[in-house]
Structure 1
Amino acid sequence: MHRAVLSLLIVLGAVTATAAPAHAHAQPDRPPRTGCGSASPVEPGVTTSRTVLSGGRTREYLVHVPEDYHPDRPLPVVLSFHGHTRSAEYQEALTGFSELDTIAVYPQGLVGTDGETAWQGAPYSADADDVRFTGDVLDQVERGLCVDSRRIYAAGKSNGGGFTEMLACRLGHRIAAFAPVAGAYYPQSGKCAPTEPVPMISFHGTADDTIPYEGDPSRGLPSIPDWLAEWAERDECFSEPITDRPRQEVSRQRWIGCAGRGALEHYRIDGLGHDWPSRSANPDSERPTVLEATPIIWKFFQRHPLHT
């Protein structure tokens, strides 16, 4: 693309991004921050197991607040969803969100039809409304802790990444941005029709044998390029991304011209398997890779709060 044309597209994209889209929906009222000003129900600096009643079931999740937590300082929330067969504890160790200046929440999936833990939207998941469970967890967290309701985010690995997309499709009015890693985007998740464009950042390895980068038609899994094209359309971005290589093994794609608060960014890591990218050994793999996903996700989240 000639430089002059690219410059024009970037200018047009900036105008589009700052203008209010014709289809924008008014944001519903956020739940009150009743936790602000009250003592924390969990010990700061310590990961605590909690329960919440959701859909007639007692469900579990882990929550971690920073050691310097103050009840008058609203904090963001990062929901982090584990993969198939995994646990909330595994996800905390894998991602390290508890080390950030945020309220880190790790929901626990139920045992599904194959005897392993999973999330709604997978063909092997339990008969449970995990979207409702997510909302119930957020309600409880906001009642007990001082939360900045404009800065609630969701990330997930594998089946948890697929569920993160489901939340983008259904809870974009409440969750500000989304980050699936090695996502399993099964058709059982149902139709995706977000009420407005949402910010999305994703990561996937080209050597992923569990959720192949090129897709798996026998399981209804799309190729990652096709999946990204669908999100570019939902977010009303220009169809062709800007691509660069921050590392030799990493291709980064960014779509411009997205409508409203929409944003789309993708990292393709050559040679990476079904792992959470990390420059050091983690529970997924003893072999480090060239990229650290968690701080990239955190920076993306910080750039994308809900509208005020």
Structure 2
Amino acid sequence: MTLDHGGTSRSYRLHAPPGYVPARPVPLVIALHPYPGNGLEMSQLFGWDELAERAGFLVAYPDGVDGGFNALVCCGNADDVGFLAALTGHLVETWGVDADRVYLTGISNGGDLSFRAAVEASGTFAAIGVVSGGFIGERTTAEDYTPQRPVSVITFIGEQDRYASQFRTGIDRWQQQLDCTPVAPPPAAPADGATLTRSRCADGSDVEVYLIGSMGHSWPGASGDRMSAPDVGLRATDLIWTFFAAHPRRA
């Protein structure tokens, strides 16, 4: 499908579950591909269509311009934040999406854009799920570069990822800037070689951080040929949706 934004025709795929009825409000997950990539590849890699069919939500897969999104450190100069906001508004208006249950997920370049959109399209997305991506780049060091409305975050970082230190620094900065404090008691280890931390922020949003010792720049639990880590004992797709379902948009 296509949507005109800023004088450009932008393309995306949309998956609707069996039994979808436009008159019944439905959650929406927007899934953002890595660089280089496209929405078709994203729909095939990480099992979002299958989960949407079981849980009953829409999934949209936007295409970046020339294979990438204008995120925090890469790629291009398209108004991708504006496009995501426009796509959300379009799907709320024409596909019966519940505006309080709109979520972003992405990997690598798509994960970086999720953080950027959480800040710059504040109020549009209830929560983001970021895999092998981060709150990185020069603009994130500004103290006022934070969401103006609560956006909860779940993120997965492989400690063998060459960007792991940047991702850890970024999520620490996010929590510092939003005045987040650890939730007690600390959660148990989610799998062998992995840790989980949870915090609650001053604005009421939540942050969950999974650190996976054996993983590189990958998606936990995926089994495709690209960017997959099938043997780490976690399925990020399922965990992200569980987190999303528990975090509708806050006032």
TM-score, normalised on structure 1? 0.73
2:171 aligned to which of 228, 249, 253:
228
Take 1:184 and 1:237, find their aligned partners in 2: how far apart are those partners? 17
Task: Measure how far apart 1:123 and its partner are.
Answer: 4.4
Count the aligned residue pairs.
Answer: 243
The alignment partner of 1:169 has SS state of helix
Alignment of 1:14-163 (within 5 A): 50-99=1-50, 100=52, 101-111=56-66, 117-163=67-113
Alignment of 1:280-291 (within 5 A): 280-281=223-224, 283-285=226-228, 287-291=230-234
User: Is the contact between residue 82 and residue 157 of structure 1 (CA under 8 Å) also seen in structure 2?
Assistant: yes
User: Is the contact between residue 136 and residue 167 of structure 2 (CA under 8 Å) also seen in structure 1?
Assistant: no
Deviation digits for residues 214-255 of structure 1 (CA, Å, limit 9, x no counterpart): 2xxxxxxx351x222212123321268835312111101111
Aligned to 1:251: 195
The alignment partner of 2:82 has SS state of helix
Aligned to 2:129: 179
Task: Measure how far apart 1:259 and its partner are.
Answer: 2.1
Alignment of 1:201-220 (within 5 A): 201-209=154-162, 212-214=163-165
Take 1:71 and 1:197, find their aligned partners in 2: how far apart are those partners? 27
- 2:237 equivalent to 1:294: yes
Task: Measure how far apart 1:119 and its partner are.
Answer: 1.0
Aligned to 2:218: 275
Moved over 4 A (4+): 188-191
Task: Measure how far apart 1:188 and its partner are.
Answer: 5.5
TM-score, normalised on structure 2? 0.89
Take 2:69 and 2:15, find their aligned partners in 1: how far apart are those partners? 21
* Residue identity (%): 29
Task: Measure how far apart 1:287 and its partner are.
Answer: 4.9
Take 2:180 and 2:229, find their aligned partners in 1: how far apart are those partners? 37
Which has more radius of gyration? Answer: 1
Deviation digits for residues 267-291 of structure 1 (CA, Å, limit 9, x no counterpart): 0111111111116445323753311
Task: Measure how far apart 1:124 and its partner are.
Answer: 4.4
User: Is the contact between residue 279 and residue 291 of structure 1 (CA under 8 Å) also seen in structure 2?
Assistant: no
Take 1:122 and 1:64, find their aligned partners in 2: how far apart are those partners? 27
Aligned to 1:32: none
Take 2:199 and 2:208, find their aligned partners in 1: how far apart are those partners? 7
Take 1:279 and 1:305, find their aligned partners in 2: how far apart are those partners? 26
User: Is the contact between residue 78 and residue 102 of structure 1 (CA under 8 Å) also seen in structure 2?
Assistant: yes
Q: Which amino acid aligns with 2:10?
A: R
Task: Measure how far apart 1:131 and its partner are.
Answer: 0.7
Take 2:33 and 2:222, find their aligned partners in 1: how far apart are those partners? 20
Take 1:59 and 1:254, find their aligned partners in 2: how far apart are those partners? 36
Q: Cα RMSD (Å) of the superposition?
A: 2.1
- The verdict on how the C-alpha distance between 1:263 and 1:282 changes in structure 2, with shifts beyond 3 A counting, is farther
Q: Which amino acid aligns with 1:110?
A: V
Q: Which amino acid aligns with 2:193?
A: E
- 2:250 equivalent to 1:307: yes
